[in-house]
Amino acid sequence: MEKSIISVLGKDRVGIIATICSYLAQNNVNILDISQTIVGGLFQMMMICDTEKCSKDFHEVADDLHDIGDELGVQIKLQKEEIFEKMQRI
Amino acid sequence: MPSLSEVVDTNKMFEKDNLDVRTITMGISLLSCIDSNLEVLKKNIYEKITTTAKDLVKVGKEIESDYAIPIVNKRISITPLAFIGSSACKTKEDYVELAQVLDQAAKDVGVNFIGGYTAIVAKGMTKSEELLIRSIPQAMAKTDCLCASVNVGSTKTGLNMDAVKLMGQIVKETAILTKDRDSIGCSKLVVLCNAPDDNPFMAGAFHGVTETDNVINVGVSGPGVINEAIQSVKGKNFTELCEIIKQTSFKVTRLGQLVAQEASKRLNIPFGILDLSLAPTPAVGDSIAEILESMGLEEVGCPGTTAALALLNDQVKKGGIMASSSVGGLSGAFIPVSEDQNMINAAASGGLCIEKLEAMTCVCSVGLDMIAIPGDTEATTIAGIIADEAAIGMINAKTTAVRIIPVIGKTLGDSAEFGGLLGFAPIMKVNTKSCAEFINRGGRIPAPIHSFKN
């Protein structure tokens, strides 16, 4: 398993999760967990995924998600999980 | 698994607070390149660097992309060149040829700086070391990404005052040879005392002879993150202020540790050290002076500045040491003037003077850094400034450095423009009373009494 984090930040609108999920399904990325919150109209979402069996290169997926974010008017990032574990946990 | 708030918090540090990994520096030993024939030596050096570091920039970019974090610089440090060139270089020009080879190798592998045009002359100078030092002005004028450093003293050996005097002249000559670009050559030349063997930051980086063949050293940064954290304890007491700096420094260092381990694994080169220095850039919100001002100073340089910097430096180390077992290099806080917007403002307003900066260097990680002074400053006065700073390092058993730029053709009221990470600097006032008779004595200042610990 190669755990990765997709984070989304921006103004809420219809279809953000749907668009991302269908892209992930097309590229064989399994979603392990989703959490989201809306604070004052600001949409924050995080998905934990397994990118090990992904049909595309990790960096290509990151670029695609970035472009999808531009179309939806939100910021989408794909990052490997370790960075959060290392920086936030002892 | 990370929580949503942890993910948002982490990404905010990169996006809003300018957190970055300042440099991945690959240390390369050139000892195996040594040859008495200059042409063979040049070929050996070029080949060693371009094969060992061929993937450095590529791997750096991959790590940036995997974690969506900025890694600003990829750099190389080499064995002090005065050791490597000692049997092949008979003239200053021979050393300059090596300088050009290093510059070319750095450009060909795509790094932005290569450090190690260095002589370690803490106690005495060999002929070869003196040749290298005398070649520095030409080498700096003829190269773009080569950095030079000279270690003129240590707590164990005392100060080599002949070298200090010579460096006063060399700094001046370097300034003259690059006067068409605001004497920028001096921004790549640093004079050190107690230089560490594993520093990843330029201009003082070199791969010491105590090191193994190749290593990966990483320098983290993050003044903006610390500054943001300090805002949350406005009006609280020092215990709470120290605690928040320590916690934030821990997070920043863990980022560096992760990048260092990944780079080491992917390049198949051992991880050396992590340098947890807070390093500013001229960008707004990436300033050490701003941190000090956030603690409650009206402007950096006012009374209280040295205490604020001492506190910052110590807490950064305490948080960082908990986060990594391989801390080294300079580790602390840098206070370059031209690379820090709030320092520039304070220097321009007259509130920050060289003498106050000198006091600050007693408690921060390095020394007088990126300070522009009038171009007509005497070489002996520059040597005097170097001697003062080196004495602080020698007596207090810490690293100190001088990177000072006598900007030829400019004087008080003018400013020098270096561009990029090096920024710009107002010309600062220097005490012009002469120290020539003192500097011209020559010889050595013996090691302090507390160096005799055997």
Residues of B in contact with A59 (CB under 8 A): 62, 65-66
Q: In angstroms, how far apart are the furthest CA atoms of chain B?
A: 67
Q: Can the peptide bond before residue B203 be classed as cis, meaning omega within 30 degrees of 0?
A: yes
Average pLDDT over residues B428-451: 96
Does A80 contact B66 at a Cβ distance shorter than 8 Å?
Answer: yes
Q: How crowded is the C-beta side of B307, counted as CA atoms within 13 Å?
A: 7
Residues of A in contact with B259 (CB under 8 A): none
Model pLDDT for residues A2-36, shown as the tens digit of each residue: 999 999 999 988 999 999 999 999 999 999 999 99
Model pLDDT for residues B401-418, shown as the tens digit of each residue: 999 999 999 999 999 998
Which token pair is B181?
A: 């670009």
Helix (H) or strand (E) holding B263: helix B238-267
Task: Count how many domains chain A has.
Answer: 1
Give A 54-83 residues with CB within 8 A of chain B.
58-59, 62, 77-83
Residue B421: pLDDT above 80?
A: no
CATH number of the domain enclosing A68: 3.30.70.260
Distance in angstroms (rounded) separating the CA atoms of residues B243 and B262: 29
Residues of A in contact with B10 (CB under 8 A): 83-84, 87-88
A contact test, residue of B13, B59, B67 with most A CBs within 10 A: B67
> What pTM does this model have?
0.92
What range defines the domain where residue A70 resides? 3-88
Q: CB distance from B10 to chain A under 8 Å?
A: yes
Other C-beta atoms closer than 10 Å to the C-beta of B377 total: 21
Choose among B3, B6, B65: nearest Cβ to A62.
B65
pLDDT for residue B188: 95
Sequence length of chain A is: 90
Q: Which of B283, B170, B286 is nearest to B222 (CA)?
A: B286
Does B7 contact A5 at a Cβ distance shorter than 8 Å?
Answer: yes
Residue B276: pLDDT above 90?
A: no
CA distance B2 to chain A (A): 6
Q: CB distance from A39 to chain B under 8 Å?
A: no
Which token pair is B74?
A: 């990829």
Chain B residue with Cα closest to A8: B8
Residues of B in contact with A6 (CB under 8 A): none
In this structure, the strands spanning B400-407 and B368-374 are parallel
Cβ-contact A15, A3 below 8 angstroms? no
Distance in angstroms (rounded) separating the CA atoms of residues B119 and B132: 7
